[in-house]
């Protein structure tokens, strides 16, 4: 399995290289540049800026320089946040986004699995309908509605929790709930569907026939199979959650990196956009690998030799 | 039980200690527009940065709470009779936060640095009035050739290329703030980092976390430290204005620098005077392309201006903004005459519409035989609403509108590159309080801002005459004549005057409403 994992990681290098190259040139095709803004700059000032940032050089040269720097772990200077380099900006925000995302992910996995299992065990009862209702709500009501409402109710009206900011564990509660809610919904629905199927499968029937206690049958035998779809969903979901959410970060004023995905592109902050692309690409590759490895652990039919 | 009691006692002691440590320390939690892009006064360009830098540094002159120019590091100054030589006398007790004295040479160093091309200063051109500055910025001359000298530590002489009556206003801009030369030489671009930064204002930088907060603490070396009430200021960046409002309502910040327009009514009803909607030094406008066949006709432009119900835009779309009947916003400095009157603004909307129909139908443009123009704007809900409303108003008189929407960067790049367009949205916030800062935009040789391609030698002549005039009243009269031409020819179609929207806790004193929306923390105090 180790060989397999290493082979996959090495195989991912060309993929990431192609993504970086495509992103680099696509970004430059977009009209406008980092210094085009409401206040048009003087021609001299613009020329000085372009020279300072090397934008006056041919594109292939800029590309070569970017790759050269990247290999050395330097993602270049941000065109907008001029006091920092891109890797410094990402290093400040990424741990925060990851902490939030990871907490939300674990919460979603625990609550979603629990709800999905309950619904499957009590199929077509009030419990089941309640779970489906919550799940549908979670999927359909977008974050930009849930997050401000949470903040309004728990911070402004009830004054139980802070409305915004970062640094105190209490400031994590509302954003984590806002991030986790849609994931809870998806996971609950996935687990419910596969659990219903698993409960009808041969090995579970056999386990019951052996007279194993119901709890053991569900947790040890049925759940192991039922959780597989949720696990394969978790790969891309984790990559998305851990790299932050622009909505939740803006509503709760959190210093994560989610905002850079949109802001970077709108500001034409070329290096910042490239930085976010690299991070997401790496996360997607790594989490897909983790999911595949988890599959091998959970499903005895899957083996990587 | 015993352990419980000991723990309780220990807890009480530590709580007491904590209370004693923080007793009397007042930190102002200040909502700011967004994250500063830099804390280097030479690379800066945004209002969010101006707010922070104003607290960190003190320039030769500064703004008071009413945005009037008052002495800063310079305690007095003289201006030569021809208005081109400014001699500043620096105060003896001005110190940097590390105890070094602030000397005239620091300003010489700073003004040379901003013009050096390698600095990449976005706002370098604001100081082009200084003799030789533009040539230095273009890389054609050495920084030493600029008209900035320090005959001794307490005297600074700045020579201008020509008289510039708003020069002191220019120096209030953050680009005029001094740098501590030794720190810049030691740390290079990193002199802005906490721990490295040495500043001469009422506060010093303690920490700077992107998108989280910028913490400042009181500078005990500041010459007026005795009169600074706050112990610290935390600037919290809010990109989402509604988030700041919720934080303010929850008591987590004491002021917000901007509000969602749709919330203004509710906030006013609930919090009364805490909501400050104040005229601001800016105009929201559409540029007419004078090279366009249809829009090159001045009567067509006038008709299109007449039919716009600006009061409706101000009331229904951009709440708090004011209908614009001139390009230079009211309340601006050095404009004793004020903007000229345009006749049709006194007519009722119905009469204006009839008049516009009359003008346009004489040219064969009617709702039955409409003309079509393209309206270009940058993505934003409010810009869309304004454009839709105006398209409706123009459709009534026979001009159909097609929209062309791009994001801000692409929109402005298109204008800058002289891309083709008929009508384009833009806005302008003055950098200094002087009508020249608005009217210069459509001078025929202004490549960057004259989106309209307006070319009127008479207008250019008036602007040149105003630039050479030292008598402020005579100069105002010349500028008024120029603006009258502007309003007749309409290179830009003024729609609304901007206003600033703030939410200020009743506990705050020292926050006076002003047209520049400038509120130095140095003058602010917070009651318990």
Q: Is the pLDDT of residue A208 over 90?
A: no
B227, part of any domain: yes
Tell me which residue in B35, B249, B252 faces A165 most closely, judged by beta carbons.
B252
CB contact under 8 A, A52 and B118: yes
Q: Which helix (H) or strand (E) holds B223?
A: none
CATH at residue A190: 1.10.3720.10
Picking from B180, B183, B224, the residue whose alpha carbon sits closest to that of residue B202 is B224
Distance CA A191, CA A226 (A): 6
Which one is predicted more confidently, B2 or A81?
Answer: A81
Q: Are residues B377 and B358 in the same domain?
A: yes
B381: Cβ–Cβ under 8 A, 6 or more apart, which residues? none
pLDDT in tens, B198-232: 999 999 999 998 889 999 999 999 999 999 999 99
A23, part of any domain: no
A152: buried, middle or exposed (CB in 10 Å: 19+, 13-18, 0-12)?
A: middle
pLDDT in tens, B235-254: 999 988 899 999 999 999 99
Distance CA B193, CA A100 (A): 27
CATH at residue B338: 3.10.105.10
B13, part of any domain: yes
| Residue B339, Ramachandran bin (φ over 0: left; ψ between -120 and 50: alpha; else beta) | beta
Q: How many helices (H) and strands (E) does chain A have?
A: 14, 0
pLDDT in tens, A262-285: 888 888 899 999 999 999 898 888
Q: Are residues B496 and B509 in the same domain?
A: no
Tell me which residue in A49, A148, A163 faces B250 most closely, judged by beta carbons.
A163
Looking at the structure of chain A, the number of domains it has is 1
A119, part of any domain: yes
Distance CA A252, CA A150 (A): 10
Q: Are residues B143 and B166 in the same domain?
A: yes
CATH at residue B25: 3.40.190.10
pLDDT bin (cut points 50, 70, 90) of residue B8 is very low
Domain housing B86:
8-254+505-526
Picking from B126, B70, B86, the residue whose alpha carbon sits closest to that of residue A41 is B126
B40, part of any domain: yes
Give me B352's structure tokens.
Answer: 């204006």
pLDDT in tens, B66-108: 999 999 999 999 999 999 999 999 999 999 999 999 999 999 9
Q: Is the pLDDT of residue A215 over 90?
A: no
* CA distances to A24, A25, A260, A294 from B406, in Å: 21, 20, 19, 45
**Among all chains, which residue has been given the structure tokens 């007419």?**
B288
Angle between helices A170-199 and A228-242 (to 10 degrees): 160
Label the pairing between strands B213-218 and B232-237.
Answer: antiparallel
pTM for this model (two decimals): 0.87
Q: How wide is the angle at C-alpha B31 spanned by C-alphas B28 and B35, nearest 5°?
A: 120
B1, part of any domain: no
B19-55 core/surface letters (b: 16 or more CB in 10 A; e: else) = eeeeeeebbbbbbbbbbbbbbbbbbbbbbbbbbbbbb
A249, part of any domain: yes
* CA distances to A208, A214, A226, B58 from A299, in Å: 20, 21, 10, 68
pLDDT in tens, B458-508: 999 999 999 888 899 999 999 999 999 999 999 999 999 999 999 999 999
Distance CA B32, CA B498 (A): 18
B433-449 core/surface letters (b: 16 or more CB in 10 A; e: else) = bbbbbbbbbbbeebebb
pLDDT bin (cut points 50, 70, 90) of residue B12 is very low
Residue % of chain B over a pLDDT of 70: 95
| Residue A165, Ramachandran bin (φ over 0: left; ψ between -120 and 50: alpha; else beta) | left
B71, part of any domain: yes
B267, part of any domain: no
Picking from A157, A155, A194, the residue whose alpha carbon sits closest to that of residue A177 is A155
From chain B, the residues in CB contact with A268 under 8 A are 409
Q: How wide is the angle at C-alpha A260 spanned by C-alphas A256 and A265, nearest 5°?
A: 175
Tell me which residue in B210, B250, B429 faces A92 most closely, judged by beta carbons.
B210
A residues 173-232 lying closer than 8 A (beta carbon) to B? none
Lowest mean pLDDT among A169-178, A239-248, B13-22: B13-22
Bridge partners of residue B492, in order along the sequence: B287
Distance CA B70, CA B50 (A): 17
pLDDT at B211: 86
B272, part of any domain: no
B3, part of any domain: no
Distance CA B522, CA B232 (A): 10
Q: Are residues B232 and B132 in the same domain?
A: yes
CB contact under 8 A, B413 and A33: yes
From chain B, the residues in CB contact with A53 under 8 A are 120
Picking from B174, B63, B417, B29, the residue whose alpha carbon sits closest to that of residue A46 is B417
Looking at the structure of chain B, the number of domains it has is 2
Q: Are residues B155 and B39 in the same domain?
A: yes
pLDDT at B169: 92
Size of interface A-B (CB pairs under 8 A): 158
pLDDT at A305: 60
- The full DSSP string for A192-226 is HHHHHHHHTSHHHHHHHHTT--HHHIIIIIIHHHH
Q: Are residues B305 and B405 in the same domain?
A: yes
Check the CA dihedral A250-A251-A256-A262 and report its sign: negative
Q: Is the pLDDT of residue B7 over 60?
A: no
Q: Is the pLDDT of residue B16 over 60?
A: no
Residue B412: count of CB within 10 angstroms of its CB: 25
CB A143 within 8 A of CB A241: no
A222: Cβ–Cβ under 8 A, 6 or more apart, which residues? A195, A198, A199, A201, A204
CB contact under 8 A, A81 and B125: no
Q: What is the average per-residue pLDDT within A96-102?
A: 92
Distance CA B340, CA B338 (A): 7
pLDDT at A243: 80
B282-304 core/surface letters (b: 16 or more CB in 10 A; e: else) = bbbbbbbbbebebbeeeebbbbb
Q: Are residues B520 and B496 in the same domain?
A: no
A37, part of any domain: no
Picking from B286, B470, B247, the residue whose alpha carbon sits closest to that of residue B376 is B286
From chain B, the residues in CB contact with A49 under 8 A are 120, 122
pLDDT in tens, B405-434: 988 888 988 888 888 999 999 999 998 889
Q: Is the pLDDT of residue B6 over 50?
A: no
pLDDT at B84: 94
Distance CA B208, CA B206 (A): 7
Domain housing A244:
98-267+285-298
pLDDT at B405: 92
Lowest mean pLDDT among A287-296, B7-16, B256-265, B360-369: B7-16
Q: Are residues B89 and B209 in the same domain?
A: yes
From chain A, the residues in CB contact with B215 under 8 A are none
CB contact under 8 A, B122 and A35: yes
Picking from A276, A296, A289, A224, the residue whose alpha carbon sits closest to that of residue A20 is A276
Distance CA B43, CA B124 (A): 9
Distance CA B353, CA B307 (A): 5
Picking from B228, B207, B195, the residue whose alpha carbon sits closest to that of residue B97 is B195
Q: Does A81 touch chain B (CB under 8 A)?
A: yes
A111, part of any domain: yes
Q: Is the pLDDT of residue B161 over 50?
A: yes
Provide the mean pLDDT of chain B. Answer: 91
3-state secondary structure of B487: helix
B361: Cβ–Cβ under 8 A, 6 or more apart, which residues? B398
């Amino acid at each position: 399995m180790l060989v397999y994992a290493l082979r996959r990681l090495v195989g991912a290098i060309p993929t990431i290289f192609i993504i970086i190259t495509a992103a680099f040139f696509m970004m430059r095709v977009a009209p406008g540049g980092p210094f085009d803004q409401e206040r048009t700059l003087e021609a001299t000032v613009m020329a000085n800026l372009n020279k300072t940032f090397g934008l006056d050089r041919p594109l292939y040269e800029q590309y070569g320089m970017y790759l050269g720097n990247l290999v050395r772990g330097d993602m270049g200077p941000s065109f907008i946040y001029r006091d920092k380099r891109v890797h410094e900006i990402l290093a400040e925000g990424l741990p925060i986004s990851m902490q939030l995302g990871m907490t939300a992910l674990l919460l979603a996995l625990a609550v979603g699995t629990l709800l999905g299992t309950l619904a499957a065990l009590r199929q077509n009862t009030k419990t089941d309908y309640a779970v489906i209702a919550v799940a549908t709500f979670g999927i359909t009501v977008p974050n930009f509605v849930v997050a401000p409402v949470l903040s309004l109710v728990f911070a402004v009206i009830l004054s139980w929790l802070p409305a915004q900011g970062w640094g105190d564990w209490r400031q994590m509660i509302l954003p984590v709930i806002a991030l986790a809610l849609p994931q809870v919904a998806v996971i609950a629905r996935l687990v419910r569907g596969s659990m219903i199927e698993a409960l009808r499968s041969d090995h579970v029937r056999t386990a019951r026939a052996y007279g194993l206690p119901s709890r053991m049958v569900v947790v040890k035998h049925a759940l192991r199979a039922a959780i597989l779809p949720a696990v394969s969903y978790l790969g891309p979901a984790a990559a998305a959650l851990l790299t932050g959410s622009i909505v939740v970060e803006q509503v709760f004023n959190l210093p994560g990196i989610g905002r850079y995905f949109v802001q970077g592109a709108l500001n034409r902050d070329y290096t910042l956009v490239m930085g976010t692309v690299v991070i997401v690409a790496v996360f997607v590759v790594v989490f897909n690998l983790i999911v595949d490895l988890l599959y091998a652990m959970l499903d005895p039919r899957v083996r990587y030799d | 039980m015993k352990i419980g009691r000991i723990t309780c006692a220990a807890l009480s002691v530590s709580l007491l200690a904590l209370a004693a440590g923080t007793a009397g320390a007042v930190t102002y939690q200040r909502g700011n527009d967004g994250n500063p892009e830099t804390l280097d006064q030479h690379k800066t360009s945004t209002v969010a940065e101006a707010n922070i830098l104003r607290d960190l540094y003190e320039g030769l002159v500064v703004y008071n709470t009413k945005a009037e120019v008052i002495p800063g590091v310079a305690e007095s100054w003289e201006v030569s009779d021809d208005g081109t030589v400014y001699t500043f006398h620096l105060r003896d007790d001005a110190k940097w936060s590390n105890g070094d004295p602030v000397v005239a040479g620091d300003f010489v160093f700073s003004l040379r640095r901003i013009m050096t091309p390698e600095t990449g200063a976005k706002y370098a051109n604001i100081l082009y009035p200084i003799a030789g500055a533009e040539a230095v910025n273009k890389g054609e001359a050495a920084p030493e050739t600029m008209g900035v000298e320090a005959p001794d530590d307490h005297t600074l002489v700045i020579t201008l290329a020509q008289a510039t009556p708003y020069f002191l206003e220019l120096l209030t801009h953050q680009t005029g703030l001094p740098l501590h030369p030794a720190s810049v030489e030691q740390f290079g671009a990193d002199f802005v980092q906490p721990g490295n930064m040495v500043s001469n204002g009422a506060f010093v930088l303690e920490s700077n976390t992107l998108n989280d907060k910028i913490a400042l603490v009181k500078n005990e070396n500041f010459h007026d430290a005795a009169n600074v009430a706050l112990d610290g200021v935390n600037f919290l960046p809010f990109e989402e204005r509604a988030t700041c409002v919720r934080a303010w309502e929850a008591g987590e910040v004491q002021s917000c620098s901007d509000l969602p327009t749709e919330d203004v009514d509710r906030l006013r009803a609930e919090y009364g005077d805490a909501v400050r909607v104040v005229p601001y030094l800016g105009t929201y406008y559409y540029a007419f392309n004078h090279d366009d066949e249809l829009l090159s006709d001045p009567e067509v432009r006038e008709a299109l201006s007449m039919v716009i119900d600006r009061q409706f835009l101000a009331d229904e779309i951009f709440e708090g903004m004011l209908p614009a009947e001139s390009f230079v916003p009211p309340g601006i400095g050095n404009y004793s005459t004020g903007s000229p009157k345009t006749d049709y603004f006194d007519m009722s909307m119905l009469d204006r519409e009839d008049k516009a129909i009359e003008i346009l139908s004489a040219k064969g443009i009617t709702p039955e035989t409409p003309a079509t123009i393209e309206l270009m704007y940058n993505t934003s809900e409010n810009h869309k609403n304004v454009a839709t409303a105006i398209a409706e108003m123009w459709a009534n008189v026979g001009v159909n509108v097609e929209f062309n929407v791009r994001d801000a960067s692409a929109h402005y790049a298109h204008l800058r590159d002289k891309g083709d367009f008929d009508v384009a949205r833009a806005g302008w916030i003055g950098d200094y309080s002087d009508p020249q800062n608005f009217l210069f935009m459509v001078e025929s040789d202004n490549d960057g801002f004259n989106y309209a391609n307006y070319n009127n030698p008479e207008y250019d002549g008036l602007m040149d005459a105003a630039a050479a005039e030292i008598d402020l009243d005579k100069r105002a009269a010349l500028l008024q004549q120029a603006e009258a031409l502007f309003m007749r020819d309409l290179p830009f179609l003024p729609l609304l005057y901007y206003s600033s929207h703030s939410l200020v806790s009743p506990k705050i004193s020292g926050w006076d409403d002003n047209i520049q929306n400038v509120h130095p923390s140095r003058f602010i105090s917070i009651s318990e």
